[in-house]
């Protein structure tokens, strides 16, 4: 018998996108696994499957976008002031 050449109905992108492990998401953000779990405890969006957490790539991208748009997360511009070293002394 010959198989039909018609392709299956496409599934929405969110259902075909592979879920990331917490470790994978941490690698994307270039942070440690423990820092990733800290973000999760503070509200980072995840899906719990059994006892394991998974991260949707679309949720990760949205979170990154939100962080970049939030003025509270902005790095302040350098001023003319001199910083201090790890001993609290002013740089010369």
C-alpha to C-alpha distance for 84 and 88, rounded to whole angstroms: 5
pLDDT in tens, 28-76: 999 999 999 999 999 999 999 999 999 999 899 999 998 888 777 766 6
Q: What's the pLDDT score for residue 13?
A: 46
The reply to whether 40 falls in a domain is yes
The reply to whether 39 falls in a domain is yes
Considering its fold, how many domains does the chain have in total? 1
The reply to whether 55 falls in a domain is yes
Q: What's the CA angle centered on 56, arms 23 and 52, to 5 degrees?
A: 50
C-alpha to C-alpha distance for 8 and 11, rounded to whole angstroms: 9
Q: Which domain holds residue 60?
A: 17-67
The reply to whether 61 falls in a domain is yes
β-strand pairing of 47-49 with 20-21: unpaired
The reply to whether 6 falls in a domain is no
The domain that holds 27 is classified in CATH as 3.90.105
The reply to whether 84 falls in a domain is no
Q: The whole model's pTM is what?
A: 0.59
């Amino acid at each position: 018998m010959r198989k039909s050449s018609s392709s299956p109905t496409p599934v929405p992108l969110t259902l075909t996108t592979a879920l990331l492990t917490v470790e994978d998401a941490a690698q994307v953000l270039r942070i440690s696994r423990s820092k990733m779990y800290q973000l999760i405890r503070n509200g980072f969006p995840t899906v719990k499957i059994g006892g394991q957490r998974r991260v949707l790539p679309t949720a990760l991208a949205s979170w990154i976008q939100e962080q970049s748009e939030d003025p509270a997360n902005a790095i302040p511009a350098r001023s003319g002031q001199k910083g201090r070293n790890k001993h609290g002394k002013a740089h010369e």
